[in-house]
Amino acid sequence: MSDDLFNSVDALLAAVNTGLPAPAERARLRLAAGLTPAQIAAALRVDSALVKGWEDGSAVPGPDIAPAYGRLLDGLAARFPAAQPAAAPAPAVPQAFTAPAPAQEAADGLVVPLLDQNPDGSLVMGDAAPCVQCGQPSVYRAQGRPMHLGGYCRPAATAVQQPAPAPAGQAPTAPAPAAPTPVASVPVRPAPTASPAPTAKARPATSRPAGRPAAPRSSGPTAAPSAAAARWWPAVALDVADGGGWVLDVPQIPVPAGTKLPDWFAWLGTGLPLRVERAHPAGRGGDGMVCLTAAALKQLGLPAALPTTEKALTALQAKMAKAAATVGMELSDQIGPSFHAFRRAGSAGGPKTSVRVTVAPWLGQGDGRQQAVSALAGPLATAPDGTKDGLTLARRYRAFTTDLGVAPGATTASTAMLLLDAVRPRVEWTKDQTTGEWSSHLREGALPSGDLCVPPAAGARHPLTRELLSKGEAVCEEEDYKWWARELTTEEARRPWAVAVDVCASYLSVTDSLRLPIGPYQYVENPAWDGKAAGLWWADFTGIAVDELLPHPATFHGRPPTGPGWYATVTVAYMATTYGFDPSTITAGYLAAHTAPLLKEWTGHIRGGYKRAYAELGLFDGQSPTEFLAAYAVHKDIGTDPVRADALVLAGAYKNVYKGGIGKWADSARHLDDQTWLEKVAASWSYDPALRFQVIAAARIAAHRRLRKTLLLTGRAPFAVNVDSYLYATDAPSPLELLPVKDDGTPVPGALRLGIAPGSHKHESSIPLQAVVEAMERREHPSKLVHHYTTDGTPIGEQTGADGEAAGTGNDDEEGGN
């Protein structure tokens, strides 16, 4: 009993000695700032349960964490002081303050006032006073009156409710139900797509050609962003208005005060509400971006094209660095299409800040390094007329970031790795209770760094692979189908058409629930088979009878294997359950002790963006086969519709993100020498060809399962396959006759079906069968004809290559086609 009493007294003394506000005040400050316990816990590197305990009084911050927590609370208290019974009159605006710019119109047509600015472009700040919109304290001013940043008031659900102050001389009344105000109803989506271009609602009816089905408009992820996220934008475009002044495509952000280069840098350093929010509480956010248009370049006195000589480029660098230094800002070491402007902590001119700048007209220019770091920005900035446009880039950048939860990286392949680390952070920080030191460690289910390759699946460039091949030993060959074809049956040869269908997002159809190996693999002789252990197995499928009309399920060339080989778990399981393979004959394996659905969150983000983009193009779940075929035939007809143009570009980017991401696991980085490649690539957590083999094997087996079920139900089989493009002999230039359906006309699950969802199929082209026969007689693969004909069988001339979804084994830029 005495120990309990002493502990209670010690806890009380600790609470008194912390010097922190009362628990209730801690909660009020956090809510006023729109922060979550998880965000504060991540900043202080503690568990979120502790933060909740500090706010309800059940826990006390230790002496090691109390100073940092106190610093946070002091900062929040300065910005969000407790409301007084009667509001003090708003302080007069000093003469140095500039008049506010006229209110601008938000994306939904609502008027949002801009905040007052100083001559240098910084925001006017005064003593905290109740906002005229919501009554909560604000240090910002609009037309001299207290107002929140950009008019974005904190939602009532996350702020302590206080009655608005009564006018002087009038008795306060009971608060009435709050009527909606323009500010309160401004969308809180963190990436609004407002721009001078007409929105979906403003487009004339003639912008959609006849016959193009309308699609339900999707606004991206359904999860509502937090109050904190609603105050940030990933990107904004700076353009010039008709009258010569500045205009931004996000009107809630104040414009620069002047048109000179120093004015622009002063504006960049004012702490603009530009930031890419973290996708996971344990992850990290990123700098926001300012996109410059051609008109903005001219007004700032910058060249329309990036200088091509070293002397001119050096002069430009010096000019911009000098202008930035006047307000304490610095620039990246090298100026190019994309660079950073930042101010270090303690520098004169303002607070620490960092902003990414992308000059749209410069994209695609500069040396190889400059072009590489902005490779993905180029397509995102390309308007329908082919020009590089800053407004287009900012609009698509915001949509991309909202859809995927991460900003575009240098390439789609590197973006895929950034996304995986953003939605499933690998590292978290913990504190040693003995020493008090903080250290980082891998989170549960994270991929470790280091060269963990196993010899059979080390990638084409790895020394382990070279060693095995030099000894004549086998390596893993789990790849997509490549150039398989068979002779036409007598019945097929009588049909006049060959119809090509292609699997939509084949990898995304398997990565959501696929359990992948985590950590190092162990070599095991005569391993026990349970159908679940992830890894590679030394199995012999020779002599196993399979469907003669289909490619062999276990080989990329589609022909029966000639001996034992290394196969992924999913391939072995399919051969065992479908064709009677005996797993007890497996003599060796490289198996992982732990598995995890590594790509689950990653898949969800990409699939969500992919489906939203295609919905804008008239393709969405639930369409009948005929509706889908009609919509797909015109989905690339964008006309002058900016919404469709953006959706088409983003859909292609999302497809290349997942294809390039899978290929990134086997990155060969051909521009690096062997030793550098081993140190920087093979030793990275993002290099593990065995993971790529597992994903591709799962996609190939899923495709074979659909082909086999369709064969069993309809008796129809493809006579040629390349990657996930299949050619069937048909009676009409349409795939409708191939679809197995139930008695009620609905598609049979697990068989060939038309649709845009991952794992469904689309109609690529229809080819006269005679042309196919002639190509096969020339010993050419018929899939090379796929892009020579339209879906109605009209010849369109020779073009290069066939469409496919192969996940590359090369560098970042090898990402497959659309």
Q: Are 611 and 620 in contact (CB under 8 A)?
A: yes
Q: Which two tokens stand for residue 201?
A: 């609602």
Q: 610 CB contacts (<8 Å, ≥6 apart)?
A: 505, 508, 651, 654, 655, 758
Q: What is the mean pLDDT of residues 655-663?
A: 94
Amino acid present at 85: P
Please state, in angstroms and as integers, the Cα–Cα distance from residue 247 to each residue in 140, 231, 302, 391, following that order: 21, 19, 18, 11
Q: In sequence order, what DSSP letters do the residues of 533-559 get, joined into one string?
A: --EEEEE--TT----TTS--TT-TTSS
Q: Which two tokens stand for residue 366?
A: 């500069």
Q: 282 CB contacts (<8 Å, ≥6 apart)?
A: 42, 425, 427, 428, 443
pLDDT at 92: 39
Number of residues that this document lists for the chain: 818
Q: Give, as one character, the DSSP assignment of residue 441.
A: E
Rank 131-135, 498-502, 527-531 by mean pLDDT and report only the highest: 498-502
Cα-Cα-Cα-Cα torsion 264, 269, 274, 278, nearest 10 degrees, comes to 150
Neighbour-count burial for 199-213, b at 16+ CB within 10 Å, e otherwise = eeeebeeebbeeebb
Q: Is the pLDDT of residue 222 over 80?
A: no
Q: Are 237 and 249 in contact (CB under 8 A)?
A: yes
Paired strand residues for 730:
497
Q: Which two tokens stand for residue 57?
A: 């009084």
Q: Is the pLDDT of residue 671 over 60?
A: yes
349: left (phi over 0), alpha (psi -120 to 50) or beta: left
Q: pLDDT tens for residues 161-173?
A: 333 333 333 433 3
Q: What is the mean pLDDT of residues 650-673?
A: 93
pLDDT at 43: 73
Pick from 653, 622, 625: which is nearest to 762 by CA? 625
Please state, in angstroms and as integers, the Cα–Cα distance from residue 393 to each residue in 173, 267, 286, 646, 703, following that order: 50, 20, 17, 10, 36
Q: In sequence order, what DSSP letters do the residues of 554-584 get, joined into one string?
A: T-TTSSPPSS-EEEEHHHHHHHHHHH---GG
Give the pLDDT band of residue 137 (cuts 50, 70, 90).
Answer: low
Alpha helices by DSSP H, listed for 284-406, are: 294-300, 310-325, 368-373, 377-381, 390-404
Pick from 57, 178, 267, 214: which is nearest to 623 by CA? 214
Q: 116 CB contacts (<8 Å, ≥6 apart)?
A: 93, 97, 98, 99, 100, 123, 124, 140, 141, 142, 143, 144
Q: Are 26 and 79 in contact (CB under 8 A)?
A: no
Q: pLDDT tens for residues 479-515?
A: 999 999 999 999 999 999 999 999 999 999 999 999 9
pLDDT at 5: 53
Q: Are 617 and 642 in contact (CB under 8 A)?
A: no
Neighbour-count burial for 599-636, b at 16+ CB within 10 Å, e otherwise = bbbbbbbbbbbbbbbbbbbbbbeebebebbbbbbebbe
pLDDT at 232: 86
As a whole number of Å, the end-to-end CA separation of the chain is 72
Cα–Cα distance between 117 and 800 in angstroms, integer? 56
pLDDT at 200: 33
Percent of the chain's residues with pLDDT above 90: 57
Q: Give, as one character, the DSSP assignment of residue 651.
A: H
Q: Are 269 and 261 in contact (CB under 8 A)?
A: no
pLDDT at 636: 93
Q: 305 CB contacts (<8 Å, ≥6 apart)?
A: 361, 362, 365
Cα–Cα distance between 706 and 578 in angstroms, integer? 13
Q: Is the pLDDT of residue 641 over 50?
A: yes
Q: How many CB atoms lie within 10 A of CB 586?
A: 22
Cβ-in-10-Å burial (0-12, 13-18, 19+) of 333 comes to: exposed
Strand order in the sheet with 330-331: 246-248, 235-240, 289-292, 353-359, 338-343, 330-331
Q: pLDDT tens for residues 603-629?
A: 999 999 999 999 999 999 989 999 999
Cβ-in-10-Å burial (0-12, 13-18, 19+) of 514 comes to: buried
Q: Is the pLDDT of residue 86 over 90?
A: no
Give the pLDDT band of residue 32 (cuts 50, 70, 90).
Answer: confident
Q: pLDDT tens for residues 392-439?
A: 999 999 999 999 999 999 999 999 999 999 999 998 877 888 888 888
